[in-house]
Amino acid sequence: MTLAALDTVLRAANVGGYAVGGLVVLGWEDARAYVRAAEALGAPVILQAGPGCRAHTPLPVLGAMFRTLAEGASVPVVAHLDHGKTLEECRIALDCGFSGIMFDGSALPLDENIALTAQVAEMSHAAGAGCEGEIGFVGYAEGAPGVGTDPDEAARFARETGVDAMAVSVGNVHLQQTRAAVIDHARIAAIMACTQVPLVIHGGSGVSDADRQLLARETTVAKFNIGTELRMAFGTALRATLAADADVFDRLAILRATEAPVQAAAERVISGLMAGSQAGV
């Protein structure tokens, strides 16, 4: 398989009754583990470069890494910019070969969010990439509270921006370490009643397995962003490796030992999102 566009992968998910994992990448080891997990299950995967990752590794490096993994994979792989904050950052990502761009204007006034997101959607489509926007505001654990997505605003946002995916705030919370999110199913139904754009749940680590499966199977939610639970799996594996051998110092040996546990965690995520579907790639 070669690199896949975000819109192509999400449309297929909506048709197939499943959702795709937008898995947050922080380095080569976890990115490779995510692709191996997807291949083991015959499922598509979205490799996501969020703000923390980009602060550590330049976009050209991430773009080359994601494309290399995609070109060698047996399943569709999307190279996705997560929470892009400026037009210039989105342009750079497209120049670096990203096939999905998420512009986050959720903290802006509605008119400004629509105007800027529409520009990102236009340049993404010109480059053959898909575009994700956010309407409402998904809050952060121990941080800024969320603002629920208004269905009427969501309909206008979808209509005027031309996005291929729409991140919504429906009780989900970024950086949640427990499955404590209380999903507002009525709000999702109201959003679905006025727009056909595939929906995205950020803060997916805080959503229960039952809710993930239900939303993937029975709604237009086509993508779950998952980061915290995978970082926790990495941290647990890293601590266990160091505790097991106090003399180990080689970076490659230490990090290599995290890949199998992270792959196993990613497989659990992906299989849950695919549960009940007849999808194949």
Catalytically active residues, by annotation: 82
The CA distance from 161 to 195, in Å, is 12
Cβ pair 105, 117 in contact under 8 A: yes
The three-class DSSP label of residue 220 is: coil
| Type of residue at 62 | L
Among 175, 157, 58, CA closest to 103: 157
**Up-side HSE of residue 108: CA atoms within 13 Å toward CB?**
16
**Dihedral angle over CA of 238, 33, 232, 214, nearest 10:** -160
| Type of residue at 82 | D
